[in-house]
Amino acid sequence: MNYGKRALRAHKKNRGKISIVSSFPLRNKRDLSIAYTPGVAAVSRYIAENPKAARTHTMKGRMVAIISDGSAILGLGNLGPEAALPVMEGKAALFKHFADIDAFPIVLGTQDEDEIVAAVRAIAPTFGGINLEDISAPRCFAIEERLKKELSIPVFHDDQHGTAIVVLAALINALKVVKKKLGKVCIVINGAGAAATATTKFLIYAGANQKNIRVLDTKGILAIGREHMNGAKDELARLTNKNKERGTLKDALENADIFIGMSAKGALKPEWVKNMADKPIVFALANPDPEIDPKEAKKTKIAVFGTGRSNLPNQINNVLAFPGIFRGALDAEARDITDEMKLAAARAIASLIPTKKLSAKYIIPNPFDKRVAPAVARAVKKVARK
């Protein structure tokens, strides 16, 4: 099936994927007088005197802004804001379907860090949360951190943290299948962008031994003093690679227990897998084509294999995380989404598969499992209200 052609036809026919529908009846003058003038003036006065009431008396408490500058769209690169819009519309549809959250896509005609921060800060009073999407690294790190400091509502860069949460959830269960411990395994992360950076830090927070983590970019293992480094990569190198190793992906995979790919098609050669430790776990998450061809992966000693694709077992997809996370944060009226909340979300996702049902082909719930978003929301809300 050619999904690209089908998508083009469907998007043109429907003129996108979302629309605005009134939640208030407008049948007559009485309804109009309550929804709008003169009745609405009382609501405005009330909110002016009680600012927190904006969450309960307007859409603010159930509305998330999906912000992108179009600089890192899926695996397509910097295509600009207009090209980002169909992806952001899709994200809004997922928010509504999986967590009954009203989300609105806002693509910005600038890729300047200061201008993006100023724009989001200016529109923030309308929303209960901000979801940053498809903003390239390393700018995305600074933009998120600045907005978290300046705003009193949750700010969440899904490319970073949604990915990290679902990777950890899948890894918790994959490690059970191969009977290994997170604190003792050697982890190779191929890619040093937003998702890889957040995943590395989150795995360390969750208990992975940072001495046993090696992160790579296209130039090889990240190491202090290596050429082609920047501030973000220097930080990763300081956190990991304690033996200051240099070399290629093939070198890094020697005796590694886990490969997490956030890079490009074909990055992992099948013949390199034989140098990994016994019962290796491979998450090849490049989209649409993973780092190793699934058919080739079956011929290797890989014990547990996951990708980002919906047509294969063990789909490691952000949709398992972000709807429930925002649902819990909005319900708790949280000001931030903390690492503790993210860890609770990952554990909630993993816990939905009982140990006795775990297998190499079933380590993560299906995105359409209706238990996922409510379970994540409950876990996040519980932590937020401590």
Supply the residues annotated as catalytic.
36, 91
Q: How far apart are CA 296 and CA 281, in angstroms?
A: 15
Q: How far apart are CA 379 and CA 386, in angstroms?
A: 11
Q: In the chain, helix, strand, coil percent, each to 5?
A: 50, 10, 40
Q: How far apart are CA 275 and CA 215, in angstroms?
A: 17
**Which pairing describes strands 304-307 and 129-132: parallel, antiparallel, or unpaired?**
unpaired
33: left (phi over 0), alpha (psi -120 to 50) or beta: alpha
Q: How far apart are CA 169 and CA 351, in angstroms?
A: 8
**CA distance to 115, 196, 329, per residue, from 342 (Å):** 28, 16, 11
Q: Using omega within 30 degrees of 0 as the cis cutoff, is the peptide bond preceding 323 cis?
A: no
* Buried b or exposed e, range 250-289, using 16+ CB within 10 angstroms: ebbbeebbbbbbbbebebbeeebbeebbebbbbbbbbeeb
Burial bucket for residue 234 (CB in 10 Å: 0-12, 13-18, 19+): middle
Q: Strand (E) positions, 54-101?
A: 63-68
CB 320 within 8 Å of CB 367: yes
